[in-house]
Copies of this chain bind each other. A is one copy, B any other.
Amino acid sequence: METYQAIKLIARPSGGPISDELFEVVNLPKPEINDGEFLIQQTHMSLDPAMFGWMSPATDSYIPPVALGEVMRSSGIGKVVESKHPDFTVGDRVTGLLGWTELLVSTGKGINKVQNDLPDETILSVFALPGLTATQGLFSIGKPVSGETIVVSGAAGSVGSIVGQLAKADGLRVIGIVGSDEKANWITEELGFDGAINYKTDDLASKLADLTPDGIDIYFENTGGDIQQHVFDRMNVHGRIAVCGMIADYAKAVPSPGPNWIPMIKKRLTVQGYAMPDHFGDIPALLTKLTPYVMQGKIKYRSHVLQGLTSAISGLNLFFTGGNNGKLMVKL
């Protein structure tokens, strides 16, 4: 490999689908490394809804946006192919914010070695951002108690599917909201959810009432949109809502309004947004919490693998259409 491909962000999205015009695909000569550096060849890169925030203009968001002209940010996994760094040797598997590129030079900052033999897909699907995000939000904000009812939107997504399985393993009644019958079947038949609602075809309010006869104690919010108000209306006293994602609103020029706050008082609800960069210091503890569930076979996943770097661009739109079945990633 004497040249490699990378993709730079050159314009910011203004609502609507993600298009080629936002990006520039470049071919570059293989970089040289200096002492203290090593060269990573990325093997799989993760696509995540958080990317819409990273592409947006600077706001008060939790992480600065990608600057125009910079390689697009993403997390990924790869292998060390050259090294002049004492701690990294050729063949090491590494993860980190590698970006939309086939090759990159690193000093090791923000890079972690993979200490197991699990496949790339398992690592990106469970032990990377999705699993950590699910574990943080469910336990720290949701505070699940056996016998309670949790509703998860985006329930077949990379985070939602793990949230539901963790809650199920802890003895909760788990209802998932998804966007296709295939996903509904997957979460109930394969993942063990107690019920599923296809928001595109089911009568959301009546089916939600049927499936949550004792109301809702925890709402794990991945989507926003119409679903939000219906779930909010059925929250129980002292309910907790973890706000993880609002995918239904990210592409809207004017986001839809939220629920009125009177029920917050009547039912003493807590609604809390979170994002993982606040909790990077907690990752060892989160992995300690998550790993036993995985080792006991309680966490299943599936991956939706796109082929080749440039497939990432149109791949992002799968988040808006719900067209991905499983954790979205790109194989390089």
Contacts and interface: CB of A to CB of B under 8 A. Distances in A.
Given A243-B261, A260-B255, A261-B271, A59 B266 contact: yes
Interface residues of A, number: 38
Nearest to A246: B262
A267 to B, nearest CB: 5
B278 A268 contact: yes
A249 B244 contact: no
A257 interface: yes
B260 A259 contact: no
B268 A274 contact: yes
Contacts of A263: 60, 273
B267 A273 contact: yes
A96 interface: no
A257 B257 contact: yes
Please state the number of chain copies in the assembly: 2
A237 interface: yes
Nearest to A238: B278
A55 to B, nearest CB: 13
Contacts of A221: 261
A273 B237 CA distance: 10
B260 A266 contact: no
A262 B224 contact: yes
A220 interface: no
A258 B257 CA distance: 6
Q: Which of A255, A258, A262 has the largest number of chain B CB atoms within 10 A?
A: A262
Given A53-B266, A250-B262, A266-B273, 13 more contacts: A60-B263, A60-B266, A62-B267, A243-B264, A246-B261, A246-B262, A257-B258, A257-B259, A258-B258, A258-B259, A263-B273, A269-B273, A270-B271
27 contacts: A53-B266, A59-B266, A60-B237, A60-B267, A61-B267, A62-B266, A62-B267, A228-B261, A243-B261, A243-B265, A246-B260, A246-B265, A250-B262, A255-B260, A255-B262, A257-B258, A257-B259, A257-B260, A261-B273, A263-B273, A266-B273, A268-B273, A268-B275, A268-B278, A270-B271, A271-B271, A271-B272
Interface of A: 53, 59-62, 221, 224, 228, 236-237, 243-246, 249-250, 255-275, 278
